[in-house]
Amino acid sequence: MLWGNVMEKIALVFPGQAAQYVRMGKEFYEKYPVAKETFDKANEILGYDLKKIIFEGPLDLLTQTKYTQPAVFVTSVACFKVFTMNYELSTINYCAGHSLGEYSALVASDVLSFEDALKLVNSRANFTQSACEKTKGTMLAILGAEQNEVSEICAQASSIGICQAVNFNAPGQIVISGEIAAISKARELAKTKKIKAIPLAVSGAFHSSLMKEAADKMAEELKKYVFKNPRFPVVSNCDAEITTTAEKIPEKLVKQIASPVLWIDSINKIISTGCGIFIELGPKNIVSGMIKKISPTVKIFNIENEATLNTTLEALKNV
């Protein structure tokens, strides 16, 4: 695609857990039949009123892992479907999703149907929530530190429990995960080094080894589904590699549950192919913010409501 007479590739990206908010996607639901169908179909598949939880809350219910993951996934897919009504997907070169968002990316690339992906997301949500309840872990965002500094903090805190760097979101933005006591020690260590550390409002130690039981259960669940080759390549969280066939996707989805999210590497991998335009589809624009920190020169758009849709489509007319 041309942007200012320069050929650039386009990638779609999708958010994960923590992007949720009450009423997300409601504007699209009320205006676009394809979005309404997506939310209504989700209720039918899940057997409970997810739509009501998304649109009415309360927030503390929506933020429970077993509801958050399907809610963010369904909203993201609805945003994607509205976008596809207005834009030709043959122009898309790559897609990726942050953690949970990888399932949205797999739907966008036709690897999984919406129905199958939602069932898998629902299983993933229940498996991870169960693991959270058993392990009692937590997470801590460390800001403004170098990766070696974070590694040193984790190594020291690991003397009293599991403490691992798990989300490499952007330069100066790394999230650590593990047992509560060890994460508390890591916070104290960061404070002594004058490094900013913010506890995250989560129910467990996501992407750490404490999620192994959830990963093992997911491995069995994934055997029940058929995966197709992607229509455009997907960049996986767990290894930041470009995936062009279905063969390795299930094992990558298992690995991502108890392994770090290599988001910086994933985005840099896409950029290295000549991609300079990213479109985030789903609630909030958290992923867009991460990408901007990774590469300030790329063009980033997000679509979560009518205003952002129109802004993005107008800008893409020049692409």
Instruction: Give the domain CATH number at 55.
Output: 3.40.366.10
Is the N-terminal amide bond of 33 cis, ω within 30° of 0? no
Question: Are residues 195 and 169 both part of a single domain?
Answer: yes
Q: Cα separation of 75 and 39, whole Å?
A: 8
pTM value > 0.75: yes
pLDDT at 7: 54
- For residue 213, give both structure tokens: 């039981």
pLDDT at 4: 37
pLDDT at 203: 83
44-83 in b/e form (b: 16+ CB < 10 A) is: ebbeeebbebbbeeeeeebbebbbbbbbbbbbbbbbbbbb
The DSSP bridge partners found for residue 280 are 13, 302
Run of H or E including 164: strand 163-170
Which residue of the set 109, 207, 208, 295 is catalytic? Answer: 207
Question: Are residues 36 and 109 both part of a single domain?
Answer: yes
Which residue from 267, 235, 231 is spatially nearest to 248, judged by alpha carbons?
235
Per-residue pLDDT for the chain (319 aa), expressed as one digit of tens each?
A: 433 333 589 999 999 998 999 999 999 999 999 999 999 999 999 999 999 999 999 999 999 999 999 999 999 999 999 999 989 898 999 999 999 999 999 999 999 999 999 999 999 999 999 999 999 899 999 999 999 999 999 999 999 999 999 999 999 999 999 999 999 999 999 999 999 999 998 889 999 999 999 999 999 999 999 999 999 999 999 999 999 999 999 999 999 999 999 999 999 999 999 999 999 999 999 999 999 999 999 999 999 999 999 999 999 987 6
Among residues 203, 232, 252, the one where a domain terminates is 203
pLDDT at 62: 95
Whole domain around residue 38: which residue ranges? Answer: 2-133+210-314
Question: Are residues 123 and 41 both part of a single domain?
Answer: yes
CATH number of the domain residue 179 falls in: 3.30.70.250
Question: Are residues 272 and 155 both part of a single domain?
Answer: no
Q: Cα separation of 82 and 103, whole Å?
A: 18
Question: Are residues 77 and 194 both part of a single domain?
Answer: no
Query: Is 99 annotated as catalytic?
Result: yes
Q: With contact defined as beta carbons under 8 Å apart, do 9 and 276 qualify? A: yes
Number of domains in the chain: 2
pLDDT at 6: 39
Q: Cα separation of 96 and 104, whole Å?
A: 8
104 is a domain residue: yes
